[in-house]
Amino acid sequence: MSELENRAWSSIDQALKSRGFRFAATRGGQTSYRGRLSSGKTVVPIRIAIDDPLMMPPPQVFIEDEAIRGRIRAHVNEDDSFCYAEAQVEEYDLYNGGGAILRVLESVKTTLDQVLHGSTTDDLQREFIAYWKPETFLHSDLPSGFQGPAVSVDWVRDERHGKLVTTVDRAKRWQQPKSKTGSAFVIRVDRPLNTVMAGGPGKSLASLRAWLGSFVDDLGALNTALSSDVIDGGTLVVVAPNGSVGATFCWPEVAKIAFKKAPLVRRMRAIARGEAGMVLERSVTDSLALPDLVNARLAEPSALLGKSIAVVGAGAIGSRVCLELARCGAGAESSPLLIVDPDLYQAVNFPRHVLPISAVRTSKAQAMADEVRRLHPALTVEFAPLDVFKILQRVARYDLVIDATGSNPVGLRLNAEAFEARRQGNTFPPILHASIHGNGLAVQTVLVTPTAHACLKCLRPEHGEFKANPLKPGVQTQFTSAACGDGAHVTYAATAPALAAALVVQAVLEWADDPAAPGPRVRSRVLDPERANAPKDRSWGQDAQCPACGLRPE
């Protein structure tokens, strides 16, 4: 045991004993203390079990009064431990074990106060999924608001077998060779589920029917959802405001043998007569619907959903941008993500790219499209292994173009083509240019929209001049000669394109949230403050003499 752990144990022991706790036992590497906490006029006996004095993981707390545990069953985990407030997000100080354990006790008391003396309705609703006590897990890919007959698909991942509930048309996305399909039914309830109403869901079809009747106003819909043909080998999914759960039903062993070869009509009658004998197997249903995954940890829905994006350049920056944008909603809801790059993926690209070595000497655009599709089968990803200037009309149909080539000539020409198209009365989307400066010293994005702000040429009026240059005076980019046919290249580590991609995604999300006011159009971040100095993020004004967007022709 390290000196740090010894000091932590000593501090924990002193702190707990100062609060009236006593040492109980040490078994299997776990040390327990027993004591009492007061919640109002209620005295709650608890046992606190510590695996790690450095609080990784946090201690487990057990309520040792059966009556009190029955009152707080929404906060009792499957292992009978007490789910106290913020146990997984609290930042305990490993150098102050005593202070950390006292914060645990404070958190336990706060939760007990809320549960025993406050309104527990919100707690029961918010934490229902955790206390449904599932035996298995389901997945779903259901459209928003869907209800009614569905299908279940066997979904095998890395030799692990699972089941996914979806609609008939979406099932094709998930089906694999030899995967079986079955019947399913989805019912939606308008009010949050909890385990208290009507005595809880129980373990039989009869108890589940009574419990669900507390949440479903339309009993006809409930009867359809729990009809015999669904119950006999089918899967039920209940979607509520506070989560989704699933259930399958098993015949008792004797009945399973008796009805194994019985006609369907006879089986249906037996189910209708013997609902109390149909055993419920509970599942928690994880939604794999793409919008649900994108929005799972966001305060509000991603504005990128439904936006079509064209990424020009699938290199060090572009490859990362494609993956991160897909996770943020690009390519969802039939709005495609287009990847444009005429080059092959070479072995020398490996240190700065996201593609595996197995993709060597294949099309970067196609390989990246395949890699993005691996994230989710519902993503709409297109690729074009072509020079972008050969497909400009196609690119112009997208909502946003990202220039991730890092090439000044490509960027300036895209900039010129966009303004020329608009002058001719055609539409062309905004362009977001991404670049790495110096040998990975700084990164930058420039968003050019068809409004009175600087275009890329405004910022680069002359060769070698850049108004928003993040490099300090005198700092030059170093080029390294490569083998004949490969040309020179700029050396930098993968940290630079990773930061550039993050800056791109940030700019894209702010643009998607408000295209008319997308925030600073020029953004810079520095990796080496000794040789780079990021200018303040800002929107530069348009240059009236700019040959691309201004009044003066070239």
pLDDT 10s digits, 62-75: 999 999 988 887 77
Range with the largest mean pLDDT of 35-49, 89-103, 187-201, 249-263: 35-49
Contacting residues for 21 by C-beta, under 8 A, at least 6 apart:
33, 34, 35, 48
H/E stretch holding 505: helix 495-513
**Residue 481 pLDDT > 70:** no
Residue 438: is its pLDDT beyond 60? yes
What's the pLDDT tens digit per position in 242-267?
Answer: 889 999 988 776 566 666 677 767 77
What's the N-to-C CA distance of the chain in angstroms? 75
Task: Pick the more confident residue, 224 or 499.
Answer: 499
Question: Once rounded to an integer, what is the mean pLDDT over residues 341-370?
Answer: 96
269 vs 41, more confident: 41
DSSP for residue 117: H
Q: Are 60 and 48 in contact (CB under 8 A)?
A: yes
Cα separation, 431 vs 256, whole angstroms: 64
Residue 163 contacts by C-beta under 8 Å, 6 or more apart in sequence? Answer: 138, 139, 152, 153, 154, 155, 182, 235
State the CATH architecture for 303-526: 3-Layer(aba) Sandwich (3.40)
Identify the helix (H) or strand (E) that includes residue 243.
strand 243-250
More confident residue, 237 or 535: 237
Core vs surface per residue 422-442: b (16+ CB within 10 A) or e: eeeeeebbbbbbbbbbbbbbb
pLDDT band at 486 (very low <50, low <70, confident <90, very high): low
Q: Under CATH, to which class is 3-118 assigned?
A: alpha beta
517 in Cβ contact with 507 (< 8 Å): no
Lowest mean pLDDT across 32-36, 127-131, 211-215, 442-446: 127-131
Mean pLDDT for the chain? 89
pTM of the model: 0.82
CA distances in angstroms from 267 to 252, 259, 471, listed in the order given: 13, 6, 77
- Cis omega (within 30 of 0) for bond into 57: yes
Which strands sit side by side in the sheet containing 60-63, from one edge to the other?
Answer: 22-27, 30-39, 42-50, 60-63
**Cα–Cα dist 413/395, whole Å:** 14
pLDDT above 90 coverage of the chain, percent:
60
pLDDT above 90 (res 86): no
Model confidence band, residue 451 (pLDDT cutoffs 50, 70, 90):
confident
Between strands 489-490 and 479-480, the pairing is antiparallel
> Rounded to whole angstroms, what are the CA distances from 534 to 431, 437, 501, 550?
22, 11, 17, 27
Cα(319)–Cα(332) distance, integer angstroms: 18
Q: Let me know the angle formed at the C-alpha of 352 by 351 and 353, rounded to the nearest 5 degrees.
A: 100
pLDDT at 88 exceeding the cut of 60 = no
> In this model, does residue 553 exceed pLDDT 60?
no
Q: What is the DSSP string of 245-297?
A: EEEEEE--HHHHHHTTT--HHHHHHHHHH-GGGSEEEEEEEEE--HHHHHHTT
Average pLDDT over residues 207-212: 91
Mean pLDDT of 68-97: 78
**Average pLDDT value for residue range 138-152:** 93
pLDDT at 279: 86
User: Model confidence at 119, in pLDDT bands (50, 70, 90)?
Assistant: low
Nearest residue to 117 (alpha-carbon basis) of 60, 48, 44: 44
Tell me the CA distances in angstroms from 442 to 3, 85, 354, 473, one per residue in order. 42, 42, 20, 14
- Each as own residue / partner, the long-range contacts of residues 416-419 (CB below 8 Å, 24 or more positions apart, any chain) are 416/457, 416/548, 417/389, 417/392, 418/448, 418/450, 419/450, 419/455, 419/548, 419/549
Mean pLDDT of 16-41: 94
Query: Predicted confidence band at 333 (pLDDT cuts at 50, 70, 90)?
Result: confident
Mean pLDDT of 137-166: 86
> For 367-403, how does the pLDDT look when each residue is reduced to its tens digit (9 = 90+)?
999 999 999 999 999 999 999 999 999 999 999 999 9
Check whether 404 has a pLDDT greater than 70.
yes
What pLDDT sits at residue 83? 84
pLDDT tens readout for residues 283-313: 989 999 999 999 988 889 999 999 999 999 9
Between 74-88, 132-146, 185-199, 441-455, the lowest mean confidence (pLDDT) is in 74-88
Contact (Cβ atoms closer than 8 angstroms) between residue 247 and residue 236: yes
The answer to which of 239-248, 473-482, 538-547 has the lowest mean pLDDT is 473-482
φ, ψ at 82 (rounded to 5°): -90, 130
Give the pLDDT mean for 450-474. 89
**What is the domain partition of the chain in residue ranges?**
3-118, 134-288, 303-526
